[in-house]
Amino acid sequence: MKFRLLDLLACPIDKTFPLELIVLDEKKVVGETKEVKTPVCELFCALVSKRVEEVATGEIDCNACYSKEIVSGVLVCRECSRWYPIIDEIPHMLPDELRNPREDIPFLEKNKDALPKNLIFSGKPSHL
C-alpha cells in the first residue's frame, strides 16, 4: 500500500478521516522514484502523520513517499476503535459482517508485540 493512499481513505463504518497508520513492515520500491512537486497529497500526509495544512515548509518529502511501500501494517479508526489490517501490501477494509475472525485473530497474535495494547485487547471487530 502506498503511504499517499491515506489521503483518500476513511473508516468505512463511521467515515472518520484520517485513519491512524501503524507500519509493521515496509519496503523500498525500485523504479518508481520520480521527482514530484510537494505536497502531492491534498489533505493528509501519512509519511509525517499530519494534515497538509499543519506541515511546515520543507517537512514533506514526497519523493521519499513515492519510493516506499507498506507491506504490513494496520489502519485504525480513532473514533470507533476499528482496525483494518494491511497484508501483503493490500488494506483489508471490510465492514464487520464481512470480516473473518479466523484471519483477524492470527494477525493480532503474530503482531501483538508491535501493536498498541488497546487495539490488541479491545479493538473492533476482533481482539484477543
CATH number at residue 81: 2.20.25.10
E-strand stretches of 37-91: 44-45, 50-51, 68-76, 83-87, 90-91
- Distance from C-alpha of 45 to C-alpha of 51, rounded to nearest angstrom: 6
pLDDT(126) > 60: yes
Q: Which domain holds residue 8?
A: 3-93
Q: Write down the residue that cell numbers 488494506 correspond to.
A: 91
With a CB cutoff of 8 Å and minimum separation 6, the contacts of 47 are 3, 60, 61, 64, 65, 68
Predicted pLDDT at 5: 94
Split into its structural domains, the chain has a count of 1
Q: Report the pLDDT averaged over residues 99-112.
A: 94
Amino acid identity for residue 84 in this structure: Y
pLDDT(33) > 60: no
